[in-house]
Chain A
Amino acid sequence: LWVWPPGCSVLDEAFQRYRDLLFSSRSWQPPEPARKQHAPEKSSLVILVGTPGCNELPSLESGENYTLTINDDHCFLLSETVWGALRGLETFSQLVWRSPEGAFFINKTEIEDFPRFPHRGLLLDTSRHYLPLTSILDTLDVMAYNKFNVFHWHLVDDSSFPYDSFTFPELTRKGSYDPATHIYTAQDVKEVIEYARLRGIRVLAEFDTPGHTLSWGPGVPGLLTPCYSGSHPTGTFGPVNPILNTTYEFMSAFFLEVSSVFPDFYLHLGGDEVDFTCWKSNPDIQAFMKKQGFGNDFKQLESFYIQTLLSIVSAYDKGYVVWQEVFDNKVKVRPDTIIQVWREETPVHYTKEMELITRAGFRALLSAPWYLNHITYGPDWSEIYMVEPLDFKGESGELCLRTRGGWAGWLISPCFFVSSCRRGVQAQPLNVGYCEQEFEET
């Protein structure tokens, strides 16, 4: 039996979920009328939440603390926020175990818990390959089992534009792999955001510019820079064209939409891997560079674009996260910008990069050592586990899972291995061994 302050959707949904995970008939046979154990029976877990905030969204500042007290007299979960309650419920579900006869047990326990880092994220790339909604939702489930709290949605990129824009429907129609089947409608996006919210997960949307934008070109003629060979356009395109007013008019309108669709305070604006070759080849850009006094320094042109974009987005009352190139190329950004470190060795080792960023007073997200798409033979989870994000000054970390051409494997700690199998999570094995209940394809 559960007792709860009624009417809180986040908690109501969570109770149902955890009840099913623990007691559903999926894998369990009903316990035999076992010989009486000398264990007092617990009939309820009482949950006490300080400030409800049930209809709110989780944020970077959300508290996730909780305490769990299981003893002869009490069985309760205390937390300040609903988000803490979610974390506590997950822990509670991991404490419950079953005897061979089938009876459920829990040991006397005292847990006081809070996360070391407030931003614990997973990046999924839905541009290189379209990911059906179910796989995104399944991923959110597994993130909750692992207490991740940020879903970094790298929605669009060079390869395809699956985000269904209502302001610029041509973007999707011309840029998606297949506008009938390989898109995320407004309804899909709403569903992801709510599904995540119910698990205490923020959705951090990334619309990466000015590079990584080839798929934007077909739907917005004139947005991308036409590349030249000598004095003739080659027919190919490069990054977003930073010298046209129309570009910024477009970005204004587009990010107005994005700001309203994605409720998290932060938006990820990308800014990585801008290839300057196309800009260099374009005579209009060359002329602009001269006029602005940038000389031959295209980093300044990149800065010019990014700064304009940032002020557009700030005007919509959003904060932003950017990839490290924005910092490396000395773009002037607001002091509350978050910089995401993804490059392992260039321009410096990532630990040095973290140091530089934090010394300059910015908050940093670490991803460099956690590119899960870089698969190798063997138990690579241990290297991932051994990374210490604070070998220097830093704030939080994010796991990057750019699903470029590959199956996204799930990482789990050794202690968690067994229960992952049981919950039907397709988590691959760390080493030889077995699960009581093996994963079966349906």
Chain B
Amino acid sequence: MEHRGLGLPALLALLAPCCCAAPGPTLWPMPLSVKTSPRLLVLSRENFSIYHDPSSTAGPSCSLLQEAFRRYYDYIFDFNKSQLGPAKRNSAVELKQLLVSVVLEPECDLYPSITSDESYTLAVEGPVAFLKANRVWGVLRGLETFSQLIYQDSYGTFTVNESNIIDSPRFPHRGILIDTARHFLPIKTILKTLDAMAFNKFNVLHWHIVDDQSFPYQSVAFPELSNKGSYSLSHVYTPNDVRTVIEYARLRGIRVIPEFDSPGHTQSWGKGQKNLLTPCYNGPKQSGTFGPINPILNSTYCFLSQFFKEVSTVFPDQFVHLGGDEVEFTCWESNPEVIAFMKKKGFGRDFQRLQSFYIQKLLGIVSTVNKGAIVWQEVFDDHAKLNPGTVVQVWKNEMYPVTQAAVTAAGFPVILSAPWYLDWISYGQDWRNYYKVDPLDFDGSQEQKKLVIGGEACLWGEYVDATNLTPRLWPRASAVGERLWSQQNIKDLEDAYDRLTIHRCRMARRGIAAEPLFTGYCNF
């Protein structure tokens, strides 16, 4: 029996008369190709294990895989519902092993990147199932899918259908933005989020770490930044905390891209770094308030050089997010020295040129430390000269397909966030709106469309902290996850609803407080 792409409607219809809790395989996000047969295999905790295939290029020395095997073993068998009897079904073949084989150089001790190969194939048949991938990243994705294939029947027996899966993501950049400046997020919350991301095959944590309200990042070169800029000394991410997050993410195939947003959104930087921000003027006198980073001083760029040098060593990802959004020009306009500088440079009254001047210098600094840059769309909109390869993140909702077209026409890669601002909550099933978005739905050539590298669901922190982050992110972000991983034709909302309700219960079972989609219950 063969079912492709769109799912297992006939099979599920047999097993799942209602929307919730019927046992059966439920995959999220939907893989590229799924073939299932009605032939069932059984597994038991005592008799099943995950091993390296002898032909694999990776082995027990690969701690990333060892950790993953242990983790997924627990996810598969650590259900609340205890097995009521011995594995029944004398006729059913037992699945004894999952053999994992990495084909190419595993990249076990490397960090994931935008070019990481996440593809895998899964052949589940008794008594040995095979998971094959080019790199460890594919193994991680495949393990998640394998764990989703297994379910408990009404006797509590762990069951899996014979299946054949070929899978790889549609977009290579599938991210979640968290904001730890508007509210400090305890490390535990961040790690929980990484777990949930792995369940949904997200692979980028966009860490919007500092902003106007607070500066929790503890800099070794500039300790006063967090000493003076954090909400309190206990609301700080030490270098150890940061390392913990990065490694926890790496073990799940997730990149950590930090965002140090400037020149706007920097009020908290001024507390610990004197003369960094532009002093605003009220007529001829300083008003005592401050604006964006002061772009006219050499000391600014000296500071930024040192700061981003540190950032580039602390965060191993190839890319850094530089922000560049919502720069308020009023303070610059009020400052006579800035005005004089503008005149000298021939910028006239066009503050976009001053902004671009700043950004371009910052981009230069960042490329000196061998990092790529991601910026918010204003940087592009306001005509800064960007190095090729600079990624533009599209976040403004008005006519965002037009923005996508413009950015890709100019040859820059795009990350789409505009329709996926998850902090904008409303009553009802808004996940459907997120699911319906198609990131390639804009006027452009094939070449242009190739420049859309993916998207990010953003959870800005004005109204979010550890008390409500998880239910607010999940399962709404899961809708975005499938849209970015699965093929374009996977868009049936009813099938998505059926699978997502079960996937949500699975996340809840694994300790993620994902909120319900609608009325119903979880079968545990």
A contact set with B: CB distance below 8 Å? 128-130, 159-160, 177-178, 181-182, 373-379, 404-407, 409, 426-434, 436, 438-441
Q: Which residues on A sit within 8 Å (CB–CB) of B21?
A: 177-178
Q: Is the CB of B465 within 8 A of A129?
A: no
Q: Lowest 9 A-B CB distances belong to which pairs?
A: A177-B521, A434-B231, A428-B468, A128-B519, A407-B471, A159-B519, A432-B182, A426-B467, A439-B467
- In the complex where A438-B186, A440-B186, A441-B192 touch, is A129 in contact with B520 (Cβ < 8 A)? yes
Would you give 15 A-B contacts (Cβ < 8 Å), ordered by A? A178-B21, A377-B424, A377-B426, A378-B463, A404-B519, A405-B429, A406-B427, A426-B467, A428-B463, A429-B464, A432-B462, A434-B184, A439-B465, A440-B188, A441-B189
B183 → A minimal CB distance (Å): 6
Complex Cα gap A271–B159 (Å): 46
A-B contacts besides A428-B463, A434-B184, 16 pairs, CB < 8 Å: A159-B520, A177-B520, A177-B521, A182-B521, A375-B425, A378-B463, A407-B471, A428-B467, A428-B468, A432-B183, A434-B232, A436-B232, A438-B184, A438-B466, A439-B465, A439-B467
Interface: B516 (CB within 8 A): yes
Nearest CB to that of B423 among chain A residues?
A: A377
| B154 CB, nearest partner CB in chain A, Å | 12
In the complex, which residues of chain A have a beta carbon less than 8 angstroms from the beta carbon of B515?
405-407
Selected from A409, A432, A433, the residue in CB contact (under 8 A) with B468 is A409
With CB as the reference atom, state the residue of chain A lying closest to B464.
Answer: A429
Residues of chain B whose beta carbon lies under 8 Å from any beta carbon of chain A = 21, 182-184, 186, 188-189, 192, 213-214, 231-232, 234-235, 423-429, 461-468, 470-472, 513, 515-521, 523-524
Judging by beta carbons under 8 Å apart, are B516 and A427 in contact? no
- Please indicate the chain A residues that have their CB under 8 angstroms from the CB of B188 in the complex: 440-441
Contact A434 B183 (CB under 8 A): yes
Write the chain B residue with the least CB distance to A127: B519
A434 to B232, CA, bound (A): 9
In the assembled complex, the Cα of A182 lies from the Cα of B426 at a distance in Å of 28
Could you tell me the dominant secondary structure of chain B's interface residues? Answer: loop
Most buried by B among A181, A405, A436: A405
Q: What separation, in Å, do the CA atoms of A378 and B462 have in the docked complex? A: 8
**Which residues of the partner chain A approach B462 to less than 8 Å between Cβ atoms?**
431-432
Complex CA distance for A378 and B523, rounded to whole angstroms: 34
A429 and B470: CB pair below 8 A?
no
| Contact indicator A432/B466 (Cβ below 8 Å) | no
B202 to nearest A CB, angstroms?
A: 19
Q: Which residue of B lies closest to A159 (CB)?
A: B519
CB distance from A366 to the nearest CB of B (A): 20
CB contacts (< 8 Å) of A431 on chain B: these are: 462-463
Measured between C-beta atoms, what is the minimum distance from B163 to chain A in Å?
A: 28
Least distance between B432 CB and chain A CB atoms (Å): 13
Q: How far is the CA of A64 from the CA of B511 in the complex (A)?
A: 41
Q: Is the interface of A mostly helix, strand, loop or mixed?
A: loop
Q: Quick check: B523 and A178 within 8 Å, CB to CB?
A: yes
Q: A427: which B residues are within 8 A, CB to CB?
A: 467
Please tell me if the beta carbons of B521 and A428 are within 8 angstroms of each other in the complex.
no
Contact B521 A160 (CB under 8 A): yes
Which A residues lie within 8 Å of B463 (CB)? 377-379, 428-431
Are A405 and B519 also in contact (CB < 8 A) when A375-B427, A376-B425, A438-B186 are? yes
Q: Is the CB of B189 within 8 A of A429?
A: no
Most chain B beta-carbon contacts within 10 A, residue among A377, A409, A440, A441: A441
Report the minimum CB–CB distance from A28 to chain B (whole Å).
Answer: 14
Q: Report whether A373 and B465 are in contact in the complex, using a CB–CB cutoff of 8 Å.
A: no
Give chain A residues whose Cβ lies under 8 Å from the Cβ of B186.
Answer: 438, 440
Contact B519 A441 (CB under 8 A): no
Closest Cβ of chain A to B197, distance in Å, is 16
Distance in Å: Cβ of B503 to nearest Cβ of chain A: 16
| B235 in contact with A129 (CB, 8 Å) | no
What residues of A have a CB within 8 angstroms of the CB of B470 in the complex?
Answer: 441
Q: Is the CB of A426 within 8 A of B468?
A: yes
Query: Is the CB–CB distance between B516 and A441 below 8 Å?
Result: no
Chain B residues, Cβ within 8 Å of A379? 463
Which single residue of chain B is at the shortest CB-CB distance from A430?
A: B463
- Distance A177 CA – B183 CA, assembled complex (angstroms): 38
Q: Are B521 and A405 in contact (CB under 8 A)?
A: no
- Complex Cα distance, B84 from A318, in Å, reads 45
The answer for the CA separation of A427 and B465 in the assembled complex, in Å, is: 10
A428 contact set on B, CB distance < 8 A: 463-465, 467-468
Chain A residues with CB under 8 Å of B424's CB are 377
Residues of A within 8 A of B231 (CB): 433-434
Question: Whole-angstrom distance between the alpha carbons of A404 and B235 in the complex?
Answer: 35
Most chain A CB within 10 A, of B214, B232, B424, B427, is at: B427
Nearest CB on A from B206, distance (A): 19
Question: Contact check: which of B189, B214, B513 meets A434 at CB < 8 Å?
Answer: B214
The complex places the Cα of A50 from the Cα of B95 at a distance, in Å, of: 71
The CA of A130 and the CA of B235, in the complex, are separated in Å by 36
Rounded to whole angstroms, the CA-CA distance of A409 and B471 in the bound complex is: 11
Bound form: Cα–Cα A441–B187 in Å: 11
Kindly provide the distance from the CB of A319 to the nearest chain B CB, expressed in whole angstroms.
Answer: 30
Q: Tell me if A178 and B521 are in contact (CB < 8 A).
A: yes
Q: Is the CB of A376 within 8 A of B521?
A: no
Min CB gap B190→A, angstroms: 11
Which residues of chain B are near A430, meaning CB under 8 Å? 463
Give the shortest distance, in Å, between B413 (CB) and chain A (any CB): 30
**A376 and B427 contact, Cβ closer than 8 Å, known pairs A434-B183, A440-B186:** yes
Most buried by B among A129, A160, A177, A407: A407
B183: which of A376, A378, A405, A433 is its contact (CB, 8 Å)? A433
| Chain A positions within 8 Å of B513 at CB level | 441
Cα separation A439 to B234 with both chains bound (whole Å): 13
A128 CA to B20 CA, complexed, in Å: 13
Report A-chain residues with C-beta under 8 Å of the C-beta of B426: 375-377
In the bound assembly, the distance between CA atoms of A377 and B461 in angstroms comes to 12
Cα distance A373–B462 when bound, in Å?
20
On whether A438 and B427 interact (CB within 8 A), knowing A178-B521, A433-B183, the answer reads no
Give the shortest distance, in Å, between B230 (CB) and chain A (any CB). Answer: 9
Q: Which residue of B lies closest to A427 (CB)?
A: B467
Q: Which residues of B contact A178 (CB under 8 A)?
A: 21, 521, 523
CB-CB nearest in chain B for A373: B427
By a CB distance below 8 angstroms, the chain A residues around B517 are: 405
Residues of chain B within 8 A of A130, CB atoms compared? 521
Residue of chain B at shortest CB distance from A406: B515
Contacts of B192 in A (CB 8 A): 441
CA gap between A123 and B70 in the complex, in Å? 43
Chain A: CB-nearest residue to B511: A441
A182 and B521 CA atoms in complex are apart in Å by 9
